[in-house]
Structure 1
Amino acid sequence: MANLYDGKMAAIYDAMYQSFVNYDEEYAFYNNLIQENKSSSTLEIGSGTGNLAKRFAENNQNYQGLDYSDDMIAIAKERNKNCSFIQGDMRDFKLDKPVDSILITGRSTSYLITNDDVNRTFESIYKNLNENGVLIFDFIDANRFIPFTKENPSIIHEAEFQNINYKRESHWDTNNSLENFMLEWTAQYYTIINGEKEVIENDFSTVRVFTLNEIQLFLYLNNFEIIKTIDRKTYAYDTYVIVAKKIA
Protein backbone atom coordinates (compact mmCIF):
# COMPACT_ATOMS: atom_id res chain seq x y z
CA MET A 1 0.00 0.00 0.00
CA ALA A 2 1.35 3.43 -0.95
CA ASN A 3 2.30 6.09 1.59
CA LEU A 4 -0.89 8.07 1.17
CA TYR A 5 -1.17 11.71 2.16
CA ASP A 6 2.18 12.02 3.89
CA GLY A 7 4.11 15.25 4.41
CA LYS A 8 2.60 18.33 2.78
CA MET A 9 -0.25 16.30 1.27
CA ALA A 10 -1.76 15.63 4.70
CA ALA A 11 -2.29 19.35 5.33
CA ILE A 12 -3.55 20.00 1.78
CA TYR A 13 -6.00 17.10 2.04
CA ASP A 14 -7.24 18.40 5.38
CA ALA A 15 -7.78 21.92 4.07
CA MET A 16 -9.61 20.91 0.89
CA TYR A 17 -11.87 18.32 2.45
CA GLN A 18 -13.27 20.88 4.89
CA SER A 19 -15.14 22.22 1.84
CA PHE A 20 -15.73 18.93 0.05
CA VAL A 21 -17.39 17.12 2.95
CA ASN A 22 -20.01 18.27 5.45
CA TYR A 23 -18.61 16.40 8.44
CA ASP A 24 -21.67 17.04 10.60
CA GLU A 25 -23.80 15.25 8.00
CA GLU A 26 -21.16 12.56 7.56
CA TYR A 27 -21.09 11.90 11.29
CA ALA A 28 -24.90 11.80 11.51
CA PHE A 29 -25.06 9.32 8.62
CA TYR A 30 -22.58 6.86 10.13
CA ASN A 31 -23.76 7.36 13.70
CA ASN A 32 -27.35 6.49 12.71
CA LEU A 33 -26.12 3.18 11.28
CA ILE A 34 -24.07 2.51 14.39
CA GLN A 35 -27.02 3.22 16.68
CA GLU A 36 -29.35 1.06 14.57
CA ASN A 37 -27.02 -1.83 15.33
CA LYS A 38 -26.67 -0.97 19.03
CA SER A 39 -22.90 -0.55 18.83
CA SER A 40 -21.24 0.89 21.90
CA SER A 41 -17.63 0.88 20.60
CA THR A 42 -16.33 1.91 17.19
CA LEU A 43 -13.12 1.80 15.18
CA GLU A 44 -12.84 4.08 12.15
CA ILE A 45 -10.39 2.87 9.49
CA GLY A 46 -9.15 5.74 7.34
CA SER A 47 -9.69 8.20 10.18
CA GLY A 48 -7.47 10.75 8.41
CA THR A 49 -7.09 14.10 10.15
CA GLY A 50 -9.76 13.33 12.74
CA ASN A 51 -12.80 15.21 11.47
CA LEU A 52 -15.25 12.43 12.35
CA ALA A 53 -13.29 11.65 15.51
CA LYS A 54 -14.07 15.15 16.75
CA ARG A 55 -17.81 14.49 16.45
CA PHE A 56 -17.60 11.12 18.18
CA ALA A 57 -15.59 12.69 21.03
CA GLU A 58 -18.08 15.55 21.41
CA ASN A 59 -20.79 12.95 21.96
CA ASN A 60 -18.69 10.97 24.47
CA GLN A 61 -18.66 7.82 22.34
CA ASN A 62 -16.19 4.97 22.60
CA TYR A 63 -14.14 5.70 19.48
CA GLN A 64 -10.72 4.78 18.06
CA GLY A 65 -9.18 5.81 14.75
CA LEU A 66 -6.77 3.89 12.55
CA ASP A 67 -4.86 5.37 9.62
CA TYR A 68 -1.87 4.42 7.48
CA SER A 69 -0.38 7.92 7.43
CA ASP A 70 1.65 9.17 10.40
CA ASP A 71 1.24 12.74 9.18
CA MET A 72 -2.54 12.46 9.06
CA ILE A 73 -2.56 10.99 12.55
CA ALA A 74 -0.38 13.86 13.83
CA ILE A 75 -3.02 16.37 12.67
CA ALA A 76 -5.80 14.19 14.14
CA LYS A 77 -4.09 14.00 17.52
CA GLU A 78 -3.55 17.76 17.62
CA ARG A 79 -7.24 18.27 16.84
CA ASN A 80 -8.53 15.59 19.24
CA LYS A 81 -6.50 15.47 22.41
CA ASN A 82 -8.73 12.88 24.08
CA CYS A 83 -9.10 10.42 21.18
CA SER A 84 -7.08 7.28 20.56
CA PHE A 85 -5.42 6.90 17.15
CA ILE A 86 -3.42 3.97 15.83
CA GLN A 87 -0.99 3.98 12.92
CA GLY A 88 -1.71 0.77 11.07
CA ASP A 89 -2.58 -1.14 7.95
CA MET A 90 -6.21 -2.20 7.52
CA ARG A 91 -5.00 -5.46 5.99
CA ASP A 92 -3.26 -6.51 9.20
CA PHE A 93 -4.07 -4.93 12.55
CA LYS A 94 -4.94 -6.08 16.08
CA LEU A 95 -6.84 -4.04 18.64
CA ASP A 96 -6.35 -4.45 22.37
CA LYS A 97 -10.07 -5.28 22.64
CA PRO A 98 -12.61 -6.16 19.92
CA VAL A 99 -15.22 -3.51 19.10
CA ASP A 100 -18.91 -3.59 18.17
CA SER A 101 -18.56 -1.74 14.87
CA ILE A 102 -15.82 -0.96 12.37
CA LEU A 103 -16.14 1.79 9.78
CA ILE A 104 -14.05 2.19 6.64
CA THR A 105 -14.71 5.78 5.59
CA GLY A 106 -13.68 8.15 2.82
CA ARG A 107 -13.71 5.46 0.11
CA SER A 108 -10.50 4.06 1.60
CA THR A 109 -11.44 0.71 0.06
CA SER A 110 -10.16 2.20 -3.23
CA TYR A 111 -6.61 1.49 -2.07
CA LEU A 112 -7.25 -2.24 -1.73
CA ILE A 113 -5.79 -3.04 -5.13
CA THR A 114 -5.64 -6.84 -5.18
CA ASN A 115 -8.15 -9.50 -4.18
CA ASP A 116 -5.66 -10.52 -1.50
CA ASP A 117 -5.76 -6.95 -0.10
CA VAL A 118 -9.56 -7.12 0.16
CA ASN A 119 -9.63 -10.58 1.73
CA ARG A 120 -6.90 -9.76 4.25
CA THR A 121 -8.74 -6.57 5.24
CA PHE A 122 -12.05 -8.33 5.79
CA GLU A 123 -10.27 -11.11 7.70
CA SER A 124 -8.56 -8.60 10.01
CA ILE A 125 -11.83 -6.78 10.58
CA TYR A 126 -13.61 -10.04 11.36
CA LYS A 127 -11.02 -10.85 14.04
CA ASN A 128 -11.38 -7.42 15.66
CA LEU A 129 -15.18 -7.39 15.87
CA ASN A 130 -17.22 -8.68 18.78
CA GLU A 131 -19.77 -11.42 18.16
CA ASN A 132 -22.51 -10.04 15.87
CA GLY A 133 -20.37 -6.95 15.28
CA VAL A 134 -20.98 -4.86 12.17
CA LEU A 135 -18.75 -3.61 9.37
CA ILE A 136 -19.85 -0.39 7.66
CA PHE A 137 -17.96 0.87 4.62
CA ASP A 138 -18.30 2.71 1.33
CA PHE A 139 -16.84 1.99 -2.10
CA ILE A 140 -16.86 3.62 -5.52
CA ASP A 141 -19.28 1.94 -7.91
CA ALA A 142 -17.36 0.75 -10.98
CA ASN A 143 -20.46 0.49 -13.16
CA ARG A 144 -21.09 4.21 -12.88
CA PHE A 145 -17.63 5.61 -12.23
CA ILE A 146 -15.69 4.07 -15.12
CA PRO A 147 -18.08 5.43 -17.79
CA PHE A 148 -17.98 8.81 -16.04
CA THR A 149 -14.17 8.99 -16.16
CA LYS A 150 -14.09 8.02 -19.83
CA GLU A 151 -16.49 10.86 -20.59
CA ASN A 152 -14.75 13.28 -18.19
CA PRO A 153 -11.00 12.53 -18.26
CA SER A 154 -10.20 15.79 -16.45
CA ILE A 155 -12.14 16.77 -13.33
CA ILE A 156 -11.64 19.96 -11.30
CA HIS A 157 -12.67 20.35 -7.67
CA GLU A 158 -12.53 23.68 -5.87
CA ALA A 159 -12.37 24.40 -2.15
CA GLU A 160 -11.92 27.37 0.15
CA PHE A 161 -10.44 27.09 3.64
CA GLN A 162 -9.09 29.84 5.91
CA ASN A 163 -9.42 32.37 3.07
CA ILE A 164 -7.29 30.31 0.68
CA ASN A 165 -8.77 29.13 -2.62
CA TYR A 166 -7.64 25.64 -3.61
CA LYS A 167 -8.14 23.68 -6.82
CA ARG A 168 -7.48 20.05 -7.65
CA GLU A 169 -7.28 18.92 -11.26
CA SER A 170 -7.67 15.15 -11.51
CA HIS A 171 -6.95 12.90 -14.48
CA TRP A 172 -8.13 9.28 -14.64
CA ASP A 173 -6.50 6.70 -16.91
CA THR A 174 -8.93 3.86 -17.56
CA ASN A 175 -6.23 1.73 -19.18
CA ASN A 176 -7.87 -1.60 -20.02
CA SER A 177 -4.62 -3.46 -19.32
CA LEU A 178 -5.06 -2.85 -15.59
CA GLU A 179 -6.68 -5.66 -13.64
CA ASN A 180 -9.57 -5.61 -11.18
CA PHE A 181 -11.14 -2.38 -12.46
CA MET A 182 -8.08 -0.38 -11.44
CA LEU A 183 -7.46 3.18 -12.55
CA GLU A 184 -4.40 5.39 -12.46
CA TRP A 185 -5.14 8.74 -10.89
CA THR A 186 -2.92 11.80 -11.22
CA ALA A 187 -3.78 15.09 -9.57
CA GLN A 188 -2.31 18.56 -9.44
CA TYR A 189 -3.12 20.74 -6.46
CA TYR A 190 -2.80 24.49 -6.65
CA THR A 191 -3.93 27.72 -5.07
CA ILE A 192 -5.27 30.81 -6.80
CA ILE A 193 -3.56 33.93 -5.42
CA ASN A 194 -4.32 37.32 -7.02
CA GLY A 195 -5.68 35.47 -10.02
CA GLU A 196 -2.45 33.52 -10.46
CA LYS A 197 -2.21 29.73 -10.32
CA GLU A 198 0.46 28.42 -7.93
CA VAL A 199 1.11 24.67 -7.97
CA ILE A 200 1.55 23.33 -4.45
CA GLU A 201 1.70 19.55 -4.97
CA ASN A 202 1.34 16.70 -7.46
CA ASP A 203 -0.08 13.31 -6.53
CA PHE A 204 -0.36 9.90 -8.14
CA SER A 205 -2.20 6.76 -7.02
CA THR A 206 -3.41 3.50 -8.47
CA VAL A 207 -6.92 2.95 -7.15
CA ARG A 208 -9.57 0.28 -7.50
CA VAL A 209 -13.31 0.59 -7.96
CA PHE A 210 -15.71 -2.30 -7.39
CA THR A 211 -18.98 -3.68 -8.64
CA LEU A 212 -21.63 -4.41 -6.06
CA ASN A 213 -21.51 -8.10 -6.98
CA GLU A 214 -17.78 -8.23 -6.28
CA ILE A 215 -18.23 -6.76 -2.82
CA GLN A 216 -21.11 -9.10 -2.04
CA LEU A 217 -18.94 -12.10 -2.90
CA PHE A 218 -15.92 -10.87 -0.92
CA LEU A 219 -18.11 -10.44 2.15
CA TYR A 220 -19.74 -13.85 1.74
CA LEU A 221 -16.32 -15.54 1.47
CA ASN A 222 -15.16 -13.78 4.64
CA ASN A 223 -18.19 -14.68 6.78
CA PHE A 224 -20.15 -11.46 6.66
CA GLU A 225 -23.87 -11.14 5.97
CA ILE A 226 -25.05 -7.93 4.28
CA ILE A 227 -27.93 -6.39 6.21
CA LYS A 228 -28.20 -3.05 4.37
CA THR A 229 -27.06 -1.61 1.04
CA ILE A 230 -27.32 2.17 0.56
CA ASP A 231 -26.87 3.93 -2.78
CA ARG A 232 -25.16 7.16 -1.76
CA LYS A 233 -23.80 10.07 -3.76
CA THR A 234 -20.82 12.03 -2.48
CA TYR A 235 -19.21 15.28 -3.58
CA ALA A 236 -17.50 13.51 -6.50
CA TYR A 237 -18.38 9.84 -6.74
CA ASP A 238 -21.36 7.53 -6.88
CA THR A 239 -20.86 5.10 -4.03
CA TYR A 240 -22.51 2.29 -2.17
CA VAL A 241 -22.44 2.00 1.61
CA ILE A 242 -22.64 -1.53 2.97
CA VAL A 243 -23.64 -2.61 6.45
CA ALA A 244 -22.60 -6.22 7.07
CA LYS A 245 -22.83 -8.38 10.18
CA LYS A 246 -20.18 -10.80 11.36
CA ILE A 247 -21.49 -14.38 11.33
CA ALA A 248 -20.05 -17.52 12.88
Structure 2
Amino acid sequence: MANLYDGKMAAIFDAMYQTFIDYDQEYVFYNELIQENNCKSILEIGSGTGNLAKRFKENDQEYIGLDYSQSMIAIAQERNKKSLFIHGDMRDFELTTPVDAIIITGRSTSYLISNEDINNTFDSLYKNLNTQGVIIFDFIDANRFIPFIKQNQAILHEATYEGINYIRESHWKTTSLENFMLEWSAQYYTIVNDQKEIITEDLSTVRVFTLNEIELFLYLNNFEIIRTIDRKTYAYDTYVIMAKKKML
Protein backbone atom coordinates (compact mmCIF):
# COMPACT_ATOMS: atom_id res chain seq x y z
CA MET A 1 0.00 0.00 0.00
CA ALA A 2 1.27 3.47 -0.89
CA ASN A 3 2.61 5.68 1.89
CA LEU A 4 -0.06 8.31 1.34
CA TYR A 5 -0.46 11.81 2.64
CA ASP A 6 2.51 12.00 4.96
CA GLY A 7 4.33 15.18 5.91
CA LYS A 8 3.28 18.24 3.91
CA MET A 9 0.75 16.22 1.88
CA ALA A 10 -1.42 15.65 4.95
CA ALA A 11 -1.96 19.38 5.51
CA ILE A 12 -2.62 20.00 1.79
CA PHE A 13 -5.12 17.14 1.70
CA ASP A 14 -6.88 18.56 4.75
CA ALA A 15 -7.12 22.05 3.29
CA MET A 16 -8.39 21.00 -0.14
CA TYR A 17 -10.94 18.48 1.07
CA GLN A 18 -12.62 21.09 3.27
CA THR A 19 -13.90 22.47 -0.04
CA PHE A 20 -14.35 19.21 -1.93
CA ILE A 21 -16.50 17.50 0.69
CA ASP A 22 -19.43 18.72 2.78
CA TYR A 23 -18.55 16.83 5.95
CA ASP A 24 -21.86 17.60 7.63
CA GLN A 25 -23.63 15.96 4.69
CA GLU A 26 -21.11 13.11 4.68
CA TYR A 27 -21.74 12.47 8.38
CA VAL A 28 -25.52 12.39 7.86
CA PHE A 29 -25.14 9.93 4.98
CA TYR A 30 -23.04 7.42 6.94
CA ASN A 31 -24.80 7.91 10.25
CA GLU A 32 -28.22 7.16 8.75
CA LEU A 33 -26.90 3.82 7.49
CA ILE A 34 -25.28 3.11 10.85
CA GLN A 35 -28.46 3.93 12.79
CA GLU A 36 -30.54 1.90 10.36
CA ASN A 37 -28.71 -1.14 11.74
CA ASN A 38 -28.79 -0.02 15.40
CA CYS A 39 -25.00 0.14 15.57
CA LYS A 40 -23.54 1.74 18.69
CA SER A 41 -19.77 1.37 18.21
CA ILE A 42 -18.08 2.55 15.01
CA LEU A 43 -14.64 2.16 13.45
CA GLU A 44 -13.79 4.47 10.56
CA ILE A 45 -10.99 3.24 8.30
CA GLY A 46 -9.39 6.04 6.32
CA SER A 47 -10.28 8.49 9.08
CA GLY A 48 -7.79 11.00 7.66
CA THR A 49 -7.60 14.33 9.45
CA GLY A 50 -10.61 13.60 11.65
CA ASN A 51 -13.37 15.59 9.97
CA LEU A 52 -15.99 12.85 10.39
CA ALA A 53 -14.60 11.96 13.81
CA LYS A 54 -15.52 15.45 14.97
CA ARG A 55 -19.15 14.91 13.98
CA PHE A 56 -19.40 11.49 15.62
CA LYS A 57 -17.87 12.85 18.83
CA GLU A 58 -20.18 15.88 18.88
CA ASN A 59 -23.09 13.42 18.88
CA ASP A 60 -21.62 11.35 21.73
CA GLN A 61 -21.11 8.24 19.61
CA GLU A 62 -18.61 5.50 20.35
CA TYR A 63 -16.04 6.15 17.63
CA ILE A 64 -12.52 4.97 16.74
CA GLY A 65 -10.50 6.16 13.74
CA LEU A 66 -7.86 4.13 11.90
CA ASP A 67 -5.52 5.48 9.25
CA TYR A 68 -2.34 4.42 7.43
CA SER A 69 -0.78 7.90 7.61
CA GLN A 70 0.73 8.99 10.91
CA SER A 71 0.78 12.59 9.69
CA MET A 72 -2.96 12.48 9.07
CA ILE A 73 -3.52 10.98 12.52
CA ALA A 74 -1.49 13.79 14.11
CA ILE A 75 -3.82 16.39 12.57
CA ALA A 76 -6.90 14.34 13.52
CA GLN A 77 -5.76 13.97 17.12
CA GLU A 78 -5.08 17.69 17.45
CA ARG A 79 -8.55 18.39 16.06
CA ASN A 80 -10.24 15.74 18.26
CA LYS A 81 -8.31 15.56 21.51
CA LYS A 82 -10.80 13.23 23.19
CA SER A 83 -11.15 10.76 20.31
CA LEU A 84 -9.13 7.59 19.79
CA PHE A 85 -7.12 7.18 16.58
CA ILE A 86 -5.07 4.13 15.65
CA HIS A 87 -2.20 3.93 13.19
CA GLY A 88 -2.92 0.78 11.23
CA ASP A 89 -3.41 -1.07 7.98
CA MET A 90 -6.91 -2.16 6.95
CA ARG A 91 -5.47 -5.40 5.57
CA ASP A 92 -4.27 -6.54 9.00
CA PHE A 93 -5.49 -4.97 12.23
CA GLU A 94 -6.91 -6.12 15.55
CA LEU A 95 -9.09 -4.04 17.85
CA THR A 96 -9.16 -4.56 21.59
CA THR A 97 -12.95 -4.90 21.38
CA PRO A 98 -15.00 -5.71 18.26
CA VAL A 99 -17.36 -3.01 16.97
CA ASP A 100 -20.88 -2.94 15.54
CA ALA A 101 -20.01 -1.06 12.34
CA ILE A 102 -16.90 -0.51 10.26
CA ILE A 103 -16.95 2.21 7.63
CA ILE A 104 -14.23 2.71 5.00
CA THR A 105 -14.49 6.27 3.73
CA GLY A 106 -12.93 8.45 1.04
CA ARG A 107 -12.64 5.66 -1.52
CA SER A 108 -9.76 4.19 0.49
CA THR A 109 -10.53 0.85 -1.15
CA SER A 110 -8.74 2.25 -4.22
CA TYR A 111 -5.42 1.42 -2.58
CA LEU A 112 -6.22 -2.29 -2.31
CA ILE A 113 -4.37 -3.22 -5.47
CA SER A 114 -4.19 -7.02 -5.38
CA ASN A 115 -6.88 -9.62 -4.79
CA GLU A 116 -4.89 -10.67 -1.74
CA ASP A 117 -5.17 -7.11 -0.39
CA ILE A 118 -8.94 -7.21 -0.77
CA ASN A 119 -9.40 -10.64 0.77
CA ASN A 120 -7.11 -9.77 3.69
CA THR A 121 -9.06 -6.57 4.28
CA PHE A 122 -12.45 -8.27 4.33
CA ASP A 123 -11.02 -10.96 6.59
CA SER A 124 -9.80 -8.29 9.04
CA LEU A 125 -13.17 -6.54 8.92
CA TYR A 126 -14.93 -9.81 9.64
CA LYS A 127 -12.72 -10.58 12.66
CA ASN A 128 -13.20 -7.12 14.18
CA LEU A 129 -17.00 -7.02 13.92
CA ASN A 130 -19.52 -8.06 16.53
CA THR A 131 -22.11 -10.70 15.64
CA GLN A 132 -24.50 -9.16 13.10
CA GLY A 133 -22.00 -6.34 12.55
CA VAL A 134 -22.07 -4.35 9.31
CA ILE A 135 -19.52 -2.84 6.96
CA ILE A 136 -20.12 0.26 4.83
CA PHE A 137 -17.63 1.30 2.16
CA ASP A 138 -17.38 3.04 -1.18
CA PHE A 139 -15.39 2.30 -4.32
CA ILE A 140 -14.81 3.92 -7.71
CA ASP A 141 -16.90 2.32 -10.45
CA ALA A 142 -14.57 1.04 -13.18
CA ASN A 143 -17.31 0.88 -15.81
CA ARG A 144 -17.80 4.64 -15.68
CA PHE A 145 -14.42 5.91 -14.54
CA ILE A 146 -12.14 4.23 -17.09
CA PRO A 147 -14.05 5.65 -20.11
CA PHE A 148 -14.04 9.06 -18.40
CA ILE A 149 -10.25 9.22 -17.96
CA LYS A 150 -9.68 7.98 -21.49
CA GLN A 151 -11.60 11.03 -22.70
CA ASN A 152 -10.05 13.47 -20.18
CA GLN A 153 -6.26 13.42 -20.05
CA ALA A 154 -6.06 16.07 -17.33
CA ILE A 155 -8.63 16.58 -14.58
CA LEU A 156 -8.60 19.82 -12.57
CA HIS A 157 -10.06 20.34 -9.11
CA GLU A 158 -10.06 23.76 -7.48
CA ALA A 159 -10.50 24.54 -3.80
CA THR A 160 -10.36 27.58 -1.52
CA TYR A 161 -9.68 27.27 2.19
CA GLU A 162 -8.76 29.97 4.70
CA GLY A 163 -8.18 32.46 1.91
CA ILE A 164 -5.81 30.24 -0.09
CA ASN A 165 -6.72 29.06 -3.58
CA TYR A 166 -5.57 25.56 -4.54
CA ILE A 167 -5.55 23.58 -7.77
CA ARG A 168 -4.98 19.85 -8.17
CA GLU A 169 -4.16 18.65 -11.66
CA SER A 170 -4.60 14.90 -12.02
CA HIS A 171 -3.38 12.60 -14.78
CA TRP A 172 -4.44 8.96 -15.05
CA LYS A 173 -2.73 6.15 -16.94
CA THR A 174 -3.99 2.59 -17.24
CA THR A 175 -1.24 0.16 -16.19
CA SER A 176 -3.03 -3.17 -15.95
CA LEU A 177 -6.62 -3.55 -17.06
CA GLU A 178 -6.46 -7.12 -15.75
CA ASN A 179 -7.08 -5.68 -12.27
CA PHE A 180 -8.25 -2.24 -13.47
CA MET A 181 -5.13 -0.66 -12.00
CA LEU A 182 -4.24 2.94 -12.75
CA GLU A 183 -1.26 5.21 -12.20
CA TRP A 184 -2.46 8.47 -10.70
CA SER A 185 -0.12 11.45 -10.79
CA ALA A 186 -1.21 14.73 -9.25
CA GLN A 187 0.36 18.16 -9.05
CA TYR A 188 -0.79 20.53 -6.32
CA TYR A 189 -0.61 24.32 -6.79
CA THR A 190 -1.52 27.50 -4.98
CA ILE A 191 -2.63 30.56 -6.93
CA VAL A 192 -0.47 33.60 -6.15
CA ASN A 193 -0.98 36.83 -8.11
CA ASP A 194 -3.00 34.89 -10.69
CA GLN A 195 -0.07 32.51 -11.23
CA LYS A 196 0.18 28.81 -10.36
CA GLU A 197 2.94 27.95 -7.91
CA ILE A 198 3.56 24.25 -7.39
CA ILE A 199 3.47 22.99 -3.81
CA THR A 200 4.13 19.31 -4.30
CA GLU A 201 3.30 16.33 -6.46
CA ASP A 202 2.19 12.79 -5.72
CA LEU A 203 2.19 9.48 -7.57
CA SER A 204 0.05 6.52 -6.56
CA THR A 205 -1.05 3.20 -8.01
CA VAL A 206 -4.77 2.73 -7.46
CA ARG A 207 -7.44 0.24 -8.43
CA VAL A 208 -11.04 0.72 -9.51
CA PHE A 209 -13.65 -2.04 -9.37
CA THR A 210 -16.75 -3.34 -11.06
CA LEU A 211 -19.79 -3.94 -8.92
CA ASN A 212 -19.72 -7.65 -9.81
CA GLU A 213 -16.14 -7.96 -8.54
CA ILE A 214 -17.02 -6.45 -5.17
CA GLU A 215 -20.11 -8.63 -4.84
CA LEU A 216 -18.00 -11.74 -5.41
CA PHE A 217 -15.28 -10.70 -2.94
CA LEU A 218 -17.93 -10.11 -0.29
CA TYR A 219 -19.57 -13.48 -0.93
CA LEU A 220 -16.22 -15.29 -0.69
CA ASN A 221 -15.46 -13.55 2.60
CA ASN A 222 -18.80 -14.34 4.27
CA PHE A 223 -20.60 -11.03 3.94
CA GLU A 224 -24.19 -10.59 2.82
CA ILE A 225 -25.00 -7.38 0.92
CA ILE A 226 -27.84 -5.40 2.47
CA ARG A 227 -27.84 -2.32 0.25
CA THR A 228 -26.07 -1.01 -2.84
CA ILE A 229 -26.16 2.75 -3.34
CA ASP A 230 -25.13 4.47 -6.58
CA ARG A 231 -23.53 7.67 -5.30
CA LYS A 232 -21.91 10.53 -7.20
CA THR A 233 -19.11 12.26 -5.27
CA TYR A 234 -17.19 15.46 -6.04
CA ALA A 235 -14.91 13.70 -8.53
CA TYR A 236 -15.96 10.12 -9.08
CA ASP A 237 -18.93 7.90 -9.78
CA THR A 238 -18.98 5.47 -6.87
CA TYR A 239 -21.00 2.72 -5.30
CA VAL A 240 -21.52 2.48 -1.56
CA ILE A 241 -22.02 -1.04 -0.22
CA MET A 242 -23.56 -2.00 3.09
CA ALA A 243 -23.04 -5.65 4.00
CA LYS A 244 -23.71 -7.79 7.05
CA LYS A 245 -21.40 -10.32 8.66
CA LYS A 246 -22.68 -13.88 8.17
CA MET A 247 -22.08 -16.40 10.90
CA LEU A 248 -19.96 -19.39 9.90
Structure 1 length as normaliser, TM-score? Answer: 0.99
| CA displacement, residues 130-149 of structure 1 (integer Å, 9 cap, x when unaligned) | 00000000000000000000
Q: Say yes or no: does 1:195 pair with 2:182.
A: no
Q: Does 1:79 align with 2:75?
A: no
Runs of 4+ deviating beyond 4 Å: none
Distance 1:19 1:233 in 2: 16
List per-residue Cα deviations over 1:189-225 (Å, max 9, x = no partner): 0000111211000000000000000000000000000
Give CA-to-partner distance per residue, 1:151-179, whole Å, 9 cap, x none. 0110000000000000000000024x453
Q: Residues of 1 paired with 2:19 and 2:100: CA distance?
A: 31
The equivalent of 1:22 in structure 2 is 22
SS in structure 1 at match of 2:64: strand
CA contact (8 A) 1:149 1:174 kept: no
Distance in 2 between residues matched to 1:120 and 1:198, nearest whole Å: 41
* Amino acid aligned to 2:205: T
Q: Secondary structure at the match of 1:106?
A: coil
Unaligned runs of 5+ in 1: none
Counterpart amino acid of 1:45? Answer: I
CA distance in 1: counterparts of 2:153 and 2:173, whole angstroms: 8
Other-structure match for 2:241: 242
Q: What's the counterpart of residue 2 of structure 2?
A: 2
* Farther-moved stretch of structure 1 (179-188 vs 101-110): 179-188
Unaligned runs of 5+ in 2: none
1:174 and 1:182 in contact (8 A); partners too: yes
For residues 21-48 of structure 1, the C-alpha deviation after alignment (integer angstroms, 9 at most, x for no partner) is 0000000000000000000000000000
Matched, 1:65 2:90: no
- How far apart, CA to CA, are the structure 1 residues paired with 2:213 and 2:135? 16
Counterpart secondary structure, 1:95: coil
User: Percent identical across equivalent pairs?
Assistant: 75
Aligned equivalents of 2:24, 2:144: Cα separation in 1: 27
Question: In the alignment, which residue of structure 1 is the partner of 2:179?
Answer: 180
Supply the AA of the counterpart residue of 2:110: S
**Alpha-carbon deviation of 1:126?**
0.1
> Aligned partners of 1:153, 1:174: CA distance in 2, in Å?
11
Question: Counterpart in 1 of 2:206?
Answer: 207
Contact residue 42 and residue 100 of structure 1 kept, 8 A: yes
Residue equivalent to 2:170? 170
Partner of 2:219: 220
Measure, in 2, the Cα distance between the counterparts of 1:228 and 1:238: 17
CA distance in 1, matches of 2:193, 2:24: 32
Tell me the equivalent position of 2:108: 108
CA distance in 1, matches of 2:195, 2:180: 37
* Root mean square deviation, CA, Å: 0.6
Assess if the C-alpha contact under 8 Å between 1:155 and 1:170 holds in 2: yes
Query: Matched residue of 2:95: which SS?
Result: coil
